[in-house]
Structure 1
């Protein structure tokens, strides 16, 4: 699609907008350390505390870039210009688009929006950065374990260090995820990785969310996988099989040792020698044998999750927290979904939570575009804009999650764990390279088909780490 601003012809791709009503909790300011492990909440479904959240999701960032084509400023005019690219997974309203449009309404600036599909975003982003033709503002990910992770990109000299506004927005305990010598990205969210549970479908099948792993396996066996399965899994999509393993590792690895990642960085532990990681992957094998997943799960794509939850043929799925509302506001409209901690072995809940989306400034942006883009990022870092992003994306805002009231929302079942500091950052955000997570995702695929063993997967993850 092309459009004209102030005499310039600009190009965008997959540009779509629809109106949504918004609703998220009233929020306070964060003051929490992500590595604390105080205990206290018993998992259960809480019908009186649920309500529908209206927003959309920004799922894990990967997609194809369009070349930035309208940066700088107008010839003979004062209107500043810069480009921004970000990943999308659907045709719902994008929070990035909304923020850009609001900014253009109140500032003398034109922003070229290049929303891109998920599939190859990380790889294409690196290609464009290396070629010097990436957008001025790019969507990145905090930490170092993904292809678009800002630690690796900043270390390679592709990003510009940001100012105090971005620094103030970084959640306490997450500073290392945003740069070694400063902040290279504005955090846009606070994402929880857990399980989306269809309360409506569960009630129709006389099922409650399992209290522990023994009850989970028993529920899977009782349902038998068809016509209703306990879980919907996109087994052909390594990011989803990897996310399943991360969700389970919260209770098997990080509940026992929230500092496990740092110990791996320091060479004190390995995946292959970790009892928690062995237990994580062995449980996946047990779940597969107990018919926890829908028929054909090993070959299914992401549509199996959306379709399964919407059609009520699956009760649960492994997704980022924002996806809960995306599904409710689209194919599962009128149904109730909640975000549930993965069942532990009878102990208190423990979840994964940290910022998963950020906006960074391309170091190769021209002077005029860079100045205008930095002004925009400073504005984005303000609490009001953080709240706007959260309202639309269905995530928690980066600037206020510790004191929020989550009763009556899809987040109610994880509220106690979040407020009691029983959580750790998303594990792969601290891994040394993307290959470790790739080996986890593809390795779990091998577990589902019987082509890999638990020992094979963990050895491959260690090798990817060390290389």
Structure 2
């Protein structure tokens, strides 16, 4: 991997950020091998949550087809609310689309590695694909030495922040500000009729994303191999101080008024409504959300990306992950064409086209790559390699992640303690 991507294999599903969880799959095509010349048409299924993502996915299909005479890639934008769980069912049932949006690693219902182990994905035999994968995250796409998916790009997982609005009310937060320094300013934001952060506390995805962002610094910053140790049963969630600190910090922020009123039960609409009305200064999401909002505002709003800050005395790490991926079905009737399409996606041209469209970082980026302006506040963190991924892609199952998100809500409402949440995650781990 280059200097602009995460040095660890941990990542977080993009659906965990602004999309409300998992996405519904309607009918797709592609299954079964056949003799003779393979068809020159394949399907490409995805669960775009907005027009920007839909255009970026469709743009990949169009750009690839333009350079391959007689080839058609048919985009299929499928209902976003249940995509991960339903694509999992389709893949396991042998009637998946030819190519489709997937999740690197393990731990989610549409993760690549479990599908690969079950023989449900097309092995990508082109050496150019394997060599193009970011070296320090190959575990997300490679099983038994073979690649079964390619990344769409890297996201910085942090805070989408309106710095101009913040400064207009005397709130000053930078990438170097500690969590304690942020909490100290929550009262000032409240006095101006705003809150520093919006939180969709009723949405498991947003809660888990936020908690994992804190743990990026409190757990994985000091020990990037924590997941490996958990798999070996040499550490536990409940027994790790960094995990306790992460969840206790969320309650401290809640008590200090750092989130909007009703945050414990709010949905994702609270984030979009709060941001568009100027009532919240920032919210927790992958970096591509910044471009989406700025584009929708027609250039009238300037947003930047900040890390999810660590408590005072703890070094802040930025979460950068390349977990959002594309795979091909083992049942496709056009394996060569499907592989060529995935090869294009991970190429320099494919990566740059997609990243410019959605506001991510190409996995092919190096120190000379010009990042979009919203990355300026975290550029030093990226260049200094002060980054980690998010752990959910190599957790044992999705229940660990879901119970983290549900547990955060329980902590905010007083129905659960930090200890109970972490003990439940240990029980989920198995």
TM-score by length of 2: 0.90
Q: CA deviation at 1:180?
A: 2.5
| d(CA) in 2 for partners of 1:30, 1:250 | 18
* Aligned residue runs from structure 1 range 369-380, under 5 A: 369-380=334-345
Contact 2:6 2:321 in 1 (8 A): no
Which residue among 141, 146, 150 is the counterpart of 1:186? 150
5+ residue gaps, structure 1: 1-27, 37-56
Instruction: Tell me how large the CA RMSD over aligned residues is.
Output: 2.6
SS at match of 2:136: coil
- Of 200, 218, 226, 2:164 maps to 200
Worse-matched range after superposition: 278-287 or 321-330: 321-330
Distance 2:138 2:38 in 1: 37
1:205-252 deviation per Cα after TM superposition (whole angstroms, max 9, x unaligned): 121116112221111133338731110111111100100101111221
Q: 1:174, CA displacement in angstroms?
A: 0.6
State how far apart, in whole Å, the 1-side matches of 2:184 and 2:286 are.
25
Name the SS of the counterpart of 1:236 in structure 2: coil
Instruction: Give the distance between the partners of 1:70 and 1:432, measured in 2 at CA.
Output: 29
Distance in 2 (alpha carbons) for counterparts of 1:111 and 1:71: 15
Aligned to 1:459: 423
Match of 1:147 among 109, 114, 133: 109
Larger CA deviation: 440-449 vs 157-166: 157-166
Distance (Å, rounded) in 2 between the aligned partners of 1:307 and 1:58 = 13
Alignment of 1:396 with 2:361, yes or no, is: yes
Q: 1:242 aligned to 2:202?
A: no
Deviation at 1:106, TM superposition (A): 3.0
Aligned to 2:140: 177
Distance in structure 2 (CA, Å) of the matches to 1:147 and 1:70: 20
Do residues 90 (structure 1) and 50 (structure 2) align?
yes
1:103, 1:72 → 2: CA distance?
23
User: Does the CA contact (< 8 Å) of 1:242 and 1:437 recur in 2?
Assistant: yes
User: Deviation of residue 403 (structure 1)?
Assistant: 4.6
Shift of 1:318: 0.5
Matches within 5 A, 1:242-391: 242-331=208-297, 333-344=299-310, 345-366=312-333, 369-391=334-356
Structure-to-structure mapping, 1:27-46, within 5 angstroms: 30=3, 34=7
TM-aligned CA deviation for residue 416 of structure 1: 1.3
Distance (Å, rounded) in 1 between the aligned partners of 2:308 and 2:84 = 28
Question: For the residues of structure 2 that align with 1:109 and 1:35, how far apart are their CA atoms?
Answer: 37
Distance in structure 1 (CA, Å) of the matches to 2:369 and 2:61: 26
SS of 2:323's equivalent in the other structure is coil
On the 8 A contact 1:187/1:398 being kept in 2, the answer is yes
Output one character per residue of 1:161-181: Cα deviation in whole Å (capped at 9) or x when no partner: 113232122112111121231
Instruction: State the partner residue of 1:104.
Output: 65
**Aligned partners of 1:71 and 1:82 also within 8 Å:** no
Residue 119, structure 1, aligned to residue 86, structure 2 = no
- Count of residue correspondences: 414
CA contact (8 A) 1:58 1:322 kept: no
Structure 2 residues not aligned, in runs of 5+: 10-16
SS of residue matched to 1:120: helix
User: Which whole-Å CA distance do the structure 1 matches of 2:113 and 2:26 have between them?
Assistant: 23
Would you tell me which structure has more helix in proportion to its own residues? 2
SS in 1 for 2:197: strand
2:426 and 2:22 map into 1 onto residues whose CA distance is 24
In the TM superposition, residue 204 of structure 1 has moved relative to its aligned partner by: 2.0
SS in 2 for 1:195: strand
Q: Any idea what the Cα deviations from partners look like across 1:418-458, whole Å, max 9, x if unmatched?
A: 11111112211221211111111111111121111101110
Shift of 1:79: 6.2
* Equivalent in 66, 75, 80 of residue 26 of structure 2: 66
For 2:391 and 2:37, how far apart are their aligned partners in 1? 48
CA, structure 1 residues 78+430, in 2 after alignment: closer, same or farther (shift >3 Å)? closer
How far off is 1:348 after superposition? 4.2
Shift of 1:295: 1.0
Check whether the contact 1:95–1:389 (CA below 8 A) recurs between aligned residues: yes
> Aligned equivalents of 1:371 and 1:112: distance in 2?
16
CA change 1:332–1:304 in 2 (3 A) is: farther
- Per-residue deviation, residues 351-398 of structure 1 (Å, max 9, x unmatched): 1112021110111212xx222211212222221111101111110001
Name the SS of the counterpart of 2:47 in structure 1. Answer: strand
Displacement, 1:94?
A: 2.7
Quote the Cα distance in structure 1 between the aligned partners of 2:237 and 2:25: 34
